[in-house]
């Protein structure tokens, strides 16, 4: 059966090797593009989208006879590029000198994951540099997009992306994401975008008192530049850019495709993207693999912690996964954070206290989550933002 992720997003890089540990180590080093792992070369080729530029990495324990598939594929699919890692005992230099037909590059057996990732990115098509994007205005609608920076054939996601999600709805991911974005936006010379990846409810717009966004039909995909521009608005109180996913109006509209198109545009407009996304969409699109940090939001109630443990396993492929405990109350029986981290198997970076004023202020401008900069909630989230930056330093 075809996975949802394969339907939603073309594969940029396919990593092929029978050795699970090798696949995982080298696949996780390839960042900011969509990567899939396969045990067989034919399965990888079959999963690629015709016409979409892709790189297929042939691992060192793939049967040498299977490499003969490369020239045959290249004859009909010139957009597919093959990169091989020499098997133990093979002369990589000789193979890289044209001895391996259909393969663009051959790397030595002992190549590091970082060097392989660099070689992969050199083979992928590059898009125009984002330096030509004009500075974002502080108020009003965003300026029209610079067409020179629109995404090229390969789907590029924001280089610095904080993904905020939860095992289920109602855990407060929007509150956490908005505060994290506001805390980062307060840093000098840092363009921050808050992305609402759940078009069903539009919670970010409600929390920030912004105008609603238009809905989208399947026939409108991929989104036009004019339509994308309508999804962006600047938040005056913080100066951050807000990108809102539109609500789908037809059953055949794929939410993941809409979000990925939006994120590709965010990549050209912001230095850091804080993305509020439901877990099913995250897993269907493999966004957690491309994120700099994934923040899993949970409460400290037993049932929610049990759900969080399941979610941490589903998000295990994320390069950096942390947990933030939300809406703690003075009457709660709180566990030691080190003990909680041990139970969840991932670092718990802090607690955010419950603030009842949030529920009463969602229709105000600016809302409580931004205006209450000296509240316990704001201080807790600011501390969490500092922790996240230490784990994944952003370009300043």
| Range in 134-138, 296-300, 341-345, 355-359 with the lowest mean pLDDT | 134-138
pLDDT in tens, 203-237: 787 777 777 777 777 667 677 888 888 888 888 88
Q: What is the pLDDT of residue 197?
A: 87
Vertex 221: Cα angle to 181 and 147 (nearest 5) = 65
Reading the block at residue 255, the tokens are 């939410």
Q: Tell me how far apart the alpha carbons of residues 253 and 146 are, in angstroms, rounded to a whole number.
A: 26
CB contact at 8 A, 193 and 240: yes
Mean pLDDT for the stretch of residues 25-34: 78
Strand pairing class (272-276; 293-298): unpaired
Q: Which among 276, 265, 271 is positioned nearest to 194, based on CA atoms?
A: 276
User: How far from 289 is each of 126, 165, 242, 319, 320, CA to CA, in Å?
Assistant: 20, 13, 23, 7, 9
- pLDDT at site 56: 95
- 196 has pLDDT over 50: yes
The bridge status of strand 348-353 relative to strand 321-328 is parallel
Question: Residues near 60 by Cβ (< 8 Å), separated by ≥ 6?
Answer: 17, 22, 85, 86, 87, 88, 109
Name which of 303, 366, 296, 355 is nearest 330 in CA terms.
Answer: 355
Distance, in Å, from the CA atom of 85 to the CA atom of 107, rounded to the nearest integer, reads: 5
Closest listed residue to residue 281, CA positions, set 4, 3, 2, 1: 4
Do 4-123 and 157-391 come out as alike in CATH topology?
yes
Judged against a pLDDT cut of 90, whether residue 85 lies above it is answered with yes
Average pLDDT, the chain: 78
Taking phi first (over 0 means left), then psi (-120 to 50 degrees means alpha), and beta for anything else, what does residue 190 get? beta
Matching CATH number, 4-123, of 3.40.50.2300, 3.40.50.2030, 3.40.50.300, 3.20.20.70: 3.40.50.2300
Between 113 and 257, whose confidence is greater? 113
Residue 130 pLDDT grade (very low, low, confident, very high; cuts 50, 70, 90): very low
Query: Pairing relation of β-strands 35-38 and 13-16?
Result: parallel
Q: Which of 276, 225, 285 is nearest to 256 (CA)?
A: 285
How do the domains of the chain map onto residue ranges?
4-123, 157-391
Q: Is it the case that residue 127 has pLDDT exceeding 70?
A: no
Judge residue 20's burial from the number of C-beta atoms within 10 Å of its C-beta, 0-12 exposed, 13-18 middle, 19 or more buried: exposed
Do 153 and 258 form a contact (C-beta atoms < 8 A)? no
C-alpha span between 254 and 43 (Å, rounded): 24
Count of CA atoms in the C-beta half-sphere (13 A) of 149? 18
Look up the CATH number of domain 157-391.
Answer: 3.40.50.300
User: What does the CA dihedral 261, 279, 292, 230 come to, rounded to 10 degrees?
Assistant: 30
The angle at the Cα of 204, spanning 6 to 275, to the nearest 5 degrees, equals 40
Residue ranges of E strands in 11-65? 13-16, 35-38, 54-58
**What is the DSSP code string of 119-186?**
HHHHHS--PPPGGGSPPPPSSSBPPPP-GGGS--SS-PPPSSEEEEEESSTTS-HHHHHHHHHHHHHT
Question: How many alpha carbons fall within 13 Å on the CB side of residue 382?
Answer: 14
pLDDT band, residue 163 (cuts 50/70/90)? very high
Asked whether the beta carbons of 369 and 182 are under 8 A apart, the reply is yes
3-state SS class at 348: strand
> Rg of the Cα trace of the chain?
22
Residues in the chain: 396
The whole-number average pLDDT for the span 154-176 is 83
pLDDT at residue 29 in the model: 79
Phi, psi for residue 192 in degrees, rounded to 5: -115, 135
Contact 27, 6 (CB under 8 A): no
pLDDT at 149 over 50: no
């Amino acid at each position: 059966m075809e996975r949802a992720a394969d339907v939603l997003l073309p594969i940029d890089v396919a990593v092929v090797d029978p050795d699970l540990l090798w696949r995982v180590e080298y696949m996780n080093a390839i960042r900011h593009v969509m990567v899939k792992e396969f045990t067989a070369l034919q399965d990888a080729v079959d999963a690629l989208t015709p016409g979409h530029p892709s790189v297929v990495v042939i691992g060192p324990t793939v049967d040498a006879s299977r490499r003969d598939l490369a020239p045959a594929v290249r004859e009909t699919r010139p957009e597919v590029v093959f990169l091989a890692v020499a098997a133990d005992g093979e002369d990589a230099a000789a193979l890289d000198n044209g001895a391996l037909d259909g393969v663009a590059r051959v790397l030595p057996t002992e190549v590091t994951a970082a060097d392989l990732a660099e070689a992969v990115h050199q083979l992928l098509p590059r898009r125009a540099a984002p330096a030509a994007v004009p500075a974002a205005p502080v108020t009003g609608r965003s300026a029209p997009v610079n067409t020179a920076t629109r995404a090229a054939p390969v789907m590029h996601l924001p280089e610095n992306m904080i993904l905020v999600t939860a095992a289920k709805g109602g855990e407060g991911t929007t509150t956490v994401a908005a505060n994290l974005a506001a805390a980062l936006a307060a840093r000098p010379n840092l363009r921050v975008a808050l992305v609402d990846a759940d078009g069903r409810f539009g919670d970010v717009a409600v929390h920030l008192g912004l105008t609603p966004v238009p809905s989208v039909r399947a026939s409108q995909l991929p989104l036009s530049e004019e339509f994308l521009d309508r999804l962006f608005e600047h938040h005056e109180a913080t100066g951050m850019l807000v990108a809102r996913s539109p609500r789908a109006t037809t059953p055949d509209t794929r939410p993941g495709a809409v979000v990925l198109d939006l994120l590709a545009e965010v990549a050209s407009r912001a230095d850091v993207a804080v993305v509020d996304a439901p877990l099913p969409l995250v897993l269907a699109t493999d966004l957690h693999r491309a994120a700099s940090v994934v923040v899993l939001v949970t409460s400290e109630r037993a049932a929610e912690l049990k759900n969080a443990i399941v979610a941490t396993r589903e998000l295990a492929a994320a390069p950096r996964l942390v947990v933030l405990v939300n809406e703690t109350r003075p009457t709660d029986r709180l566990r030691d954070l080190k003990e909680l981290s041990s139970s969840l198997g991932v670092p718990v970076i802090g607690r955010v206290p419950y603030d009842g004023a949030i529920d009463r202020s969602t229709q105000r401008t600016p809302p409580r989550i931004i205006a209450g900069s000296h509240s316990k909630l704001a201080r807790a989230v600011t501390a969490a933002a500092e922790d996240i930056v230490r784990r994944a330093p952003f370009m300043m």
